[in-house]
Every structure is written in structure tokens, then in C-alpha cells.
Amino acid sequence: MSITNKTFFEAEIDALYLRAPFSRQMYLQIRQSKHFMALYYMKKLELDDLANTAFLSRFHYVRVFKRMYGLTPRAYLRDLRISKAKEFIKSGASITTVCFDVGYESPSTFSSVFKKCTGHSPKEYQKLYNAI
């Protein structure tokens, strides 16, 4: 059995791979699902759909996504939708239209989520923006 000595750089690369929480493939899979959310945030996206875009089980997907981004996929999607809603409201779109355009099926649900995230109802947000 022969033992080969590694160079400093080879040892550092090995150490990086050992410390990295995810493989390159895992990063690509999760980034792919995040990109999918950015493209289709206005659609009804189920957790299984998102996990399938990353080729992972739903439970593993949630754990990995949260470790990578600090949010669950559902929270990330909610924040993405609210961010888009704020843009649409600022551009003068009606609140009901915005609700459906960002993927919510109920104006009351949209309004409560929007208020929870921004501290203002959509109508209040619209008035604040128009007052500026």
C-alpha cells in the first residue's frame, strides 16, 4: 500500500468538499426550483411540484432549501409574491387584480398575508404609495 502526500492545495480542496454542506448537484437542484418559483409564482404551486423540480422528496427538499436560503420554500414563495404584489400596486393595478396575478385565490387571504408581511393592508399600502 502506497501513501501519497497531497499538496497544500489538494488538501484544501478536500477540506472544502468535506465542510460543504451540499454537493454541487444539490445546489443546482435547489437553485433550479427557486428559479421555477420565480417564473411561475403566479400559478398554484404545491410543495410536491417544487420538490419535483429539484428531484427531491418533499421532506428533504424543505430541509435543504431552508438550510440554503434560511426560509422554507413556502415562506420564500410568499415573500416573492408579496414583493411582486407591491410592485403591481405601485404601478396602479387594482388590488383584486393583483391578488390573482400573484397567485392568490382569495382576496381576503391575500389581504391578510400582505398585511402580515408589510404591516399595511393592500389598500393602505396603495394610499401610502399614492400619497408620496
- Joined together, the cell numbers standing for residue 38 give 420565480
Classify residue 44 as left (phi > 0), alpha (psi -120 to 50) or beta: beta
Q: How far is 45 from 77, CA to CA, in rounded Å?
A: 9
pLDDT per residue as tens digits for the range 94-121: 999 999 999 999 999 999 999 999 999 9
pTM: 0.80
Question: So what's the pLDDT on residue 111?
Answer: 97
Instruction: In whole angstroms, give the CA distance from residue 90 to residue 47.
Output: 30
Burial profile 97-125: b = 16 or more Cβ within 10 angstroms, e = fewer: ebbebbbbeeeeebbebbeebbeeebeeb
Instruction: Judge whether residue 2 has pLDDT over 50.
Output: no
What phi and psi, each to the nearest 5 degrees, are found at residue 92? 100, 5
Task: For 6-35, write each residue's pLDDT tens digit.
Answer: 788 777 766 666 666 677 788 889 999 999
